[in-house]
Amino acid sequence: MQRIAIGGISLNVEQRGRGAPLLLVHGFPLDHSMWRHQIDAFGARFHVIAPDLRGFGQSDATPPGTVTMAQLADDLAGLLDALGITQPVTFCALSMGGYVAFSFVRRHAKRLDKLILCDSRAVADTAEAAQNRGALADRVLAEGSAVAAEAMLPKLFAPLTAEKQPEVVEQTRQVMLRVNPIGVAAALEAMAVREDSTGLLPTIQVPALLVCGEHDGISTPDEMRGMAQAIPAARFEEIPAAGHMAPLEAPGPVNRAIAQFLGVTTA
Ligand code: MLT
């Protein structure tokens, strides 16, 4: 693990391997460790870069009001600069990471080679969802990150994962309990005001892979299939028996889909 200084804060990042850059961007309220199976599988063929976003994992947090999806995308561009990576990247993101990916498309299109969206959405929050995020942010600041873990954990995993891989659920809970409440509140407020990206989809110029767990109730397969249809060069892959955390729940099928998309075999 390394800490990399970018624009007044430090980001924690795990890097593995050499080759074309593969940037792995985690969801909410998690950290880079959700990509452990992809880091292992693709580190042999790619330069894998798996950061903790601002406010998560071991990265510095900044208060609510200072974080937007655009800021998180700029942080990643700053990280690539600091690492000396000028080659366009494959940007692989889950859920909130996908919201950051859309800002990256808007602001840093030249740095993008391919896009992989796992379990994510293009629509903005409804007024009600945004209000709920604000209320959750207030509770997290008052009571701590456990409140966010309680709210999110039941929605993340497919029933089969909870039954057959309880350790995966428990490890995820621990990550959520360790996260800085200031970072969680800041990200909740940032997600609440994020732009709708539906209109962006037809303008995406790079090849894209969209991956969704069969039982994902946050970003459903039907919704993601529709997103894939709107992107000019996209393919869609549904992952059987997985939920919202498909790359962590079903790494074999997800890695096969990614490997096929990238034209490689996995380790
Ligand atoms: C995530 O997994 O990043 C969250 O479900 C995103 C969200 O709450 O919209």
Residue 91 has pLDDT above 90, yes or no: yes
Give the residue, by CA position, lying nearest to ligand 1 atom 6: 96
Q: Report if residue 132 sits inside a domain.
A: yes
Q: Report if residue 32 sits inside a domain.
A: yes
Ligand 1 in contact with 95 (CB < 6 A)? yes
H or E segment and range at residue 174 = helix 166-178
What single DSSP character describes residue 126? P
Q: How confident is the model at residue 235 (pLDDT cuts 50, 70, 90)?
A: very high
Per-residue pLDDT, averaged over 136-151, amounts to 97
Per-residue pLDDT, averaged over 50-69, amounts to 98
Q: Report if residue 146 sits inside a domain.
A: yes
Domain hosting residue 103, numbered range: 2-262
Q: Report if residue 39 sits inside a domain.
A: yes
What is the model's pLDDT at position 131?
A: 98
Q: How confident is the model at residue 265 (pLDDT cuts 50, 70, 90)?
A: confident
Residue 164 is encoded by which pair of tokens?
């057959």
**How large a percentage of the chain has pLDDT more than 90?**
99
CA of 125, closest atom in ligand 1: 9
pLDDT digits (tens, 9 = 90+) for 112-143: 999 999 999 999 999 999 999 999 999 999 99
Ligand 1 in contact with 93 (CB < 6 A)? no
Contact 101, 118 (CB under 8 A): no
Q: How confident is the model at residue 66 (pLDDT cuts 50, 70, 90)?
A: very high
Per-residue pLDDT, averaged over 194-200, amounts to 98
Ligand 1 in contact with 104 (CB < 6 A)? no
| Ligand 1 geometric centre to CA of 7 (Å) | 26
Residue 179 has pLDDT above 80, yes or no: yes
What is the model's pLDDT at position 71?
A: 98
Per-residue pLDDT, averaged over 86-91, amounts to 98
Residue 88 is encoded by which pair of tokens?
């366009």
DSSP 3-state of 9: strand
Contact 157, 169 (CB under 8 A): yes
Q: Report if residue 120 sits inside a domain.
A: yes
| Ligand 1 geometric centre to CA of 255 (Å) | 21
In order of 29, 178, 239, the CA distances from 106 in angstroms are 24, 32, 28
Ligand 1 in contact with 59 (CB < 6 A)? no
Residue 266 has pLDDT above 90, yes or no: no
What is the model's pLDDT at position 146?
A: 97
Number of domains in the chain: 1
pLDDT digits (tens, 9 = 90+) for 3-37: 999 989 999 999 999 999 999 999 999 999 999 99
Q: Report if residue 199 sits inside a domain.
A: yes
Ligand 1 in contact with 218 (CB < 6 A)? yes
Q: Report if residue 267 sits inside a domain.
A: no
Q: Report if residue 213 sits inside a domain.
A: yes
- Can you give the pTM of this predicted structure? 0.98
Query: Domain of 59: which CATH number?
Result: 3.40.50.1820
What is the model's pLDDT at position 251?
A: 98
Ligand 1 in contact with 191 (CB < 6 A)? yes
What is the model's pLDDT at position 232?
A: 98
Which residues fall within 8 angstroms of residue 12, CB to CB, at 6 or more apart? 1, 2, 3, 31, 32, 51, 52, 57, 58, 59
> Rounded to an integer, what distance in angstroms lies between the CA atom of residue 212 and that of residue 220?
7
What is the model's pLDDT at position 267?
A: 58
